[in-house]
Amino acid sequence: MPDVQQIALITGANKGIGFEIARQLGAKDIIVLVGARDQVRGDEAAQKLRSEGIEARALHLDVTDQAMIEAAAAFIEETYGKLDILVNNAGISLPAGRVPPSELDVEVLKQTYETNVFGVFAVTRTMLPLLRRSEAGRIVNLSSSVGSLALQSDPTSIYGQMPPLLAYSSSKTAINAITVFFAKELRQTSIKVNAISPGYVATDLNDHSGFLTPQQGAALPVTYATLPADGPTGGFFESDSTIPW
Ligand code: NAP
């Protein structure tokens, strides 16, 4: 990575995997902007990171609010003039979405997509001019192996045997599509865009049922946020392997 000071924005970084991504990037002497839809929670998280010696700053950012995304981009431009790393981490899994497709309320599907899909697209598109000013822009989209259509449609895979939870799973499929299309557009640039499944991590999102810690779940997103110039782009990764789309 370049010698100049790096700037990273992590959305939904006030807790869970996002907070740990901010902590681990901060430990690499990268300035971390702690995106949070709730200003108080964001300030508290940034304060905690600063108490650990990390250069952290809260950034009030609800990914479903275009005006707020634009204000965040304007702040980053005025303060730093560029963005090196964007981690699209903010995500939701609504309890009302944990039902079979035939019982899913369309409003729940829309609400899930509003954050997990349109939020990722809107933040990426708005931050892209700032990422283009980086020597080595990196975009990491927090996906999930449940978003793999290949695994979901394979009855022999553990994912093929899981309950068919359309809202969250298909929102991650859409994030994978966003990843592929931005990577394709940016192939001739130094910007790399990848979709990362952090594994099954114990956080509020799954009522702490995961078996990995947030520290463990943050490791791969951090690796892809700091990829060297010869690293991959347009891929879907978990642990040390690729996931089929
Ligand atoms: P989490 O602990 O529930 O954290 C989610 C974060 O997203 C919170 O900071 C939350 O803010 C924020 N957020 C939600 N809606 C937002 C919005 N509209 N604008 C800005 N921030 C918003 O969940 P997590 O497990 O760390 O999940 C992080 C990412 O990893 C998600 O994209 C998730 O889908 C993905 N992932 C997780 C797992 C897992 O096993 N945990 C597996 C695969 C993928 P509030 O505190 O204000 O709610």
In angstroms, rounded to a whole number, what is the distance separating the alpha carbons of residues 213 and 184?
33
Our answer on whether the CB atom of 18 is closer than 6 Å to any ligand 1 atom is: yes
Quote the Cα angle for 122-142-220, to 5°: 140
Q: What is the pLDDT of residue 97?
A: 97
Query: Averaged over 181-210, what is the pLDDT?
Result: 97
Going from the C-alpha of 21 to that of each of 17, 49, 87, 201, the distances in angstroms are 6, 11, 9, 13
Report pLDDT for 109.
98
Q: Is the pLDDT of residue 240 over 90?
A: no
Q: Is the CB of 144 under 6 A from ligand 1?
A: yes
Identify the pLDDT of residue 228.
Answer: 98
Type of residue numbered 172:
K
In this prediction the pTM is 0.98
210 lines ligand 1 (CB under 6 A): yes
Higher-confidence residue of 186 and 2: namely 186
Mean pLDDT for 128-152 is: 98
Q: Could you tell me whether strands 236-238 and 241-242 are parallel, antiparallel, or unpaired per DSSP bridges?
A: antiparallel
Residue of the nearest CA to atom 33 in ligand 1? 91
Cβ(127) – ligand 1 distance below 6 Å: no
Domains of the chain in start order, with CATH, are 7-242 (3.40.50.720)
How many A from CA of 129 to the centre of ligand 1?
Answer: 25
pLDDT at 2 > cutoff 60: no
Residue 3 pLDDT: 59
Dist. CA 180 → ligand 1 center (Å): 22
Q: Give the C-alpha separation, 32 to 190, whole Å.
A: 21
- pLDDT mean across residues, the chain: 97
Beta strands in 129-224 (DSSP E): 138-142, 192-197
